[in-house]
Structure 1
Amino acid sequence: MSGPLEDIRVIDLSRIVAGPLATQVLGDYGAEIIKIEQPGVGDDSRGWVPPAAPDGSAAYFFAINRNKKSVTLNLKHPRGKEILKALVRHGDVVIENFKPGTMEDLGLGYDVLCRVNPRVIYCGISGFGASGPDRERAGYDSILQGVSGLMSITGERDGRPVKAGVAIIDEITALYAHGAILAALRHRDRTGRGQKIECSLLESGVATMMNAANAYLIAGMVQGRWGSAHETVVPYQAFRARDGYLIIGVGNERLWKTFCDAIGAPEWADDPRFDSNARRVERREELVRLIEARLAAKSRDEWIREFSAAGLPTGPINTVDQTFADPQVLHRGMVQEIEHPTAGRVRLVGIPVKFSDSPGAITEPPPLLGQHTAEVLGKLLGVSAAEIEDLKREGVV
């Protein structure tokens, strides 16, 4: 069986996280991803070590660049520009995450590439958007976690703003971009026309604020930091048992009664202090103290077993190594192995979406810099081995 995007070719000019993750998802679903990199330099994340694979390759690069072919190409060289246009002529999607205006300055903006291929889907990802007063500002994930408001609601109540432990704005932007590309491809199926897509970390970050955003927009409430707790649902947070932490979520009154029974305090269900979520929110600190006093009587795993048996949403606070030893994680195929040309056998995170008829697959390891230049230019554009050598001497590839 082949992936659902097996006939789609993506020309990927992006680097670092948001763009490469978007194209990795497309590649996991079967699209051919041709990753364009600067000769001798490559994607910035190739240099983000430690941690590293046995050959010194950056583990970060490995996280978001599987199922791709690496082609080195100097986009400032006239011949490099012509080669890119030739690739676009054979492509379905172009994705880039340069500062707005960079592709236009290179003579490779959408207005040019859509004349080369009117069916092409062009996706530009930027920090702050392609228009507006901040369009030229540089923006990494952590900057946009701050600007979007996410850091203001992350961390302990009386503590400093905290950045999420992964590049969450980059990741969410990647998923928005991937979804937009699929929607544009569907539109092309109906109309025969390509189009330009604009994605930004800022807009994705603001959209990520979701309920916190609407608390302000609808009710005028500015949410603060709540640690692991939920601002409007109690109990819904991490708690300490005798030997470690677990997370408990009681999202409705039925679960509240179940929780009271499971923790050995059935009287709490009808206690006027706690008999509605609104009252539990009002007396949050008192209730949390009572819960933690009872949880201290047993181990984390004992409580998880008992709560799970009762049908309560609960789980451990795993470390990363514990996550990848979890039987359910392993059963769902979220650890995959593949042979890398210089790092040997490496483990990668699996594909989180399962298809019944056209499953995704990890078929290619993250590429070496320029590993596929001769292959792609030869097979797709008919460039000979001798011409490739000439291009190397000229600094084009």
Structure 2
Amino acid sequence: MTLPDPDTAASAATGGSGPLSGLRVLDLSRILAGPTATQLLGDLGADVVKVERPGTGDDTRGWGPPFLRDAQGRETRESAYYLSSNRNKRSLAVDLASEAGVALIRRLARKADVLVENFKVGDLAGKGLGYEVLAAENPGLIYCSISGFGQDGPYAGRAGYDFLIQGMGGLMSLTGRPDAEGGEPTKAGVGIADVMCGMYASNAILAALHHRSATGEGQYIDVALLDTQVAWLINQGAAYLTDGNVPPRRGNAHPAIVPYNAYPARDGAFILAVGNDAQFARFCEVAGEPELARDPRFARNADRVRNRAALEPEIERLTRTRDKAGWIAALEAAGVPCGPINDVGEVFDDPQVRHRGMRIAMAHETPATGEVALIGNPLKLSRTPVTYRHAPPRLGADAASVLSGWLGLGEGDIGELVRGGAIVTEDEAGNEAGDDKA
């Protein structure tokens, strides 16, 4: 094993130049919610060390295809799913089933500002890695636990997955076509419950950091997928709490705005999103039927919502008379919100998406091209912009730089950890093409 150049190790240890530069994050999470939170912290400049299981690593490394292919065209163990949420991290493969591995995590936690984990409730505490133990050794530590159902309550012991949470948390009851149209409850096409939980977790961590800057106190954060899913029911949840009526599925329609839907043109569907009465009047002008906006059933949005069953067929009759492109061009010129329904390929080819830097490329040693395409960070900070420093790491690739940078260990010390089974370095971690991805 060769240790990194001291200057390189120091640079890696301090993370990037963003607003969280110098912050050390010990990431014991996997799948999507925790990695989403820690990737965001890494994009903002934090030094994130991703602790993984030797041999298998993060479960999502095996969630494919697709997988990255090497120069010979063979599938590797780097799945697109794993790549999506593990940028700006360094990988350390630690055996938490060993006493030496647990002891190493405790040493790292003494140097960390933030620890993020999503083990089953009580698992880390049972290993001597719970908040009380680590906070006694590092009182400024911010320890964030992410779980399916929280650290207490009747469901605390259950495992939580995005699909389960979308169902239990009400999102699926609101997504999909109505029963009358033969629809059924439908999950969102991405793991949105996990992603939103990660967003809430990162917000909580930043709030705790602000508190620590004022008081020196660390604290414990308990974030649950179910709680966050319920929280972002937003207007639909508030509507139920207001009138007691359970909101139905409406397909693409809006519960409180009409017309706000996907409408059929001659060559397919497009989106019309009328947000106020003036926009509706302009739509009717463009459609050639200005009198529709003066109809007392449709003049105000509240009237249009109450009479949607009468209005929607009229809108569809009008939209079927032109092509999508014609409608979009005419409505945009009139200041009426509208747009296409893009597939994912069309999204990344969109000129606005390209202009905003939402598709990026990062150097990566695995593909023959020497780089990997990733989704960019949406945050635009004028003085401390996000940075893209480390591509999603190969399993165990950064043992030397992490342990020398965080703990000051030399090559002999690290070799002893390897021989004692506490860690596995990249050479032993099985990163080659064709290895088991499970």
TM-score (norm 1): 0.98
1:106 corresponds in structure 2 to 127
* Deviations 1:146-181 (CA, angstroms, capped at 9, x unpaired): 111111111000111000000011011000000000
The whole-number CA distance in structure 2 between the counterparts of 1:126 and 1:213 is 22
- Aligned residue for 1:53, secondary structure, equals strand
1:236 corresponds in structure 2 to 260
134, 150, 155: which one aligns with 2:171:
150
Offset, 1:293? 1.8
1:141 corresponds in structure 2 to 162
Determine whether 1:14 maps to 2:35. Answer: no
Relative to structure 2, which stretch is displaced further, 22-31 or 383-392? Answer: 383-392
- In the TM superposition, 1:154-165 aligns within 5 A as 154-158=175-179, 159-165=183-189
Identity %: 49
- Aligned residue for 2:36, secondary structure, equals helix
The whole-number CA distance in structure 2 between the counterparts of 1:9 and 1:299 is 54
- Aligned residue for 2:42, secondary structure, equals helix
* Deviations 1:254-308 (CA, angstroms, capped at 9, x unpaired): 2111221122221111012211223222332332222122212221112111111
Amino acid aligned to 2:148: G
Offset, 1:395? 2.0
- In the TM superposition, 1:1-397 aligns within 5 A as 2-55=17-70, 56=76, 57-158=78-179, 159-343=183-367, 344-397=370-423
The whole-number CA distance in structure 2 between the counterparts of 1:189 and 1:380 is 21
* Deviations 1:68-105 (CA, angstroms, capped at 9, x unpaired): 00001112211111211111111100000111111111
The whole-number CA distance in structure 2 between the counterparts of 1:54 and 1:301 is 38
Amino acid aligned to 1:14: S
* Deviations 1:205-250 (CA, angstroms, capped at 9, x unpaired): 0001111111111211110100000112110111111112211111
Contact 2:104 2:422 in 1 (8 A): no
The whole-number CA distance in structure 1 between the counterparts of 2:349 and 2:267 is 19
The whole-number CA distance in structure 2 between the counterparts of 1:361 and 1:242 is 45
Relative to structure 2, which stretch is displaced further, 293-302 or 191-200? Answer: 293-302
Offset, 1:39? 1.0
The whole-number CA distance in structure 2 between the counterparts of 1:296 and 1:325 is 27
The whole-number CA distance in structure 1 between the counterparts of 2:88 and 2:289 is 53
The whole-number CA distance in structure 2 between the counterparts of 1:109 and 1:49 is 33
Contact 2:50 2:91 in 1 (8 A): yes
The whole-number CA distance in structure 2 between the counterparts of 1:259 and 1:352 is 32
Provide structure 1 residue ranges, at least 5 long, that are not aligned to the other structure.
Answer: none
- Aligned residue for 1:187, secondary structure, equals helix
The whole-number CA distance in structure 2 between the counterparts of 1:362 and 1:287 is 49
Q: CA RMSD in A?
A: 1.2
Contact 2:101 2:421 in 1 (8 A): no
Contact 2:270 2:341 in 1 (8 A): yes
2:8 corresponds in structure 1 to none
Offset, 1:65? 0.2
TM-score (norm 2): 0.89
- Aligned residue for 1:286, secondary structure, equals helix
Offset, 1:345? 1.5
Count of residues in Structure 1 that have an aligned counterpart in Structure 2? 397
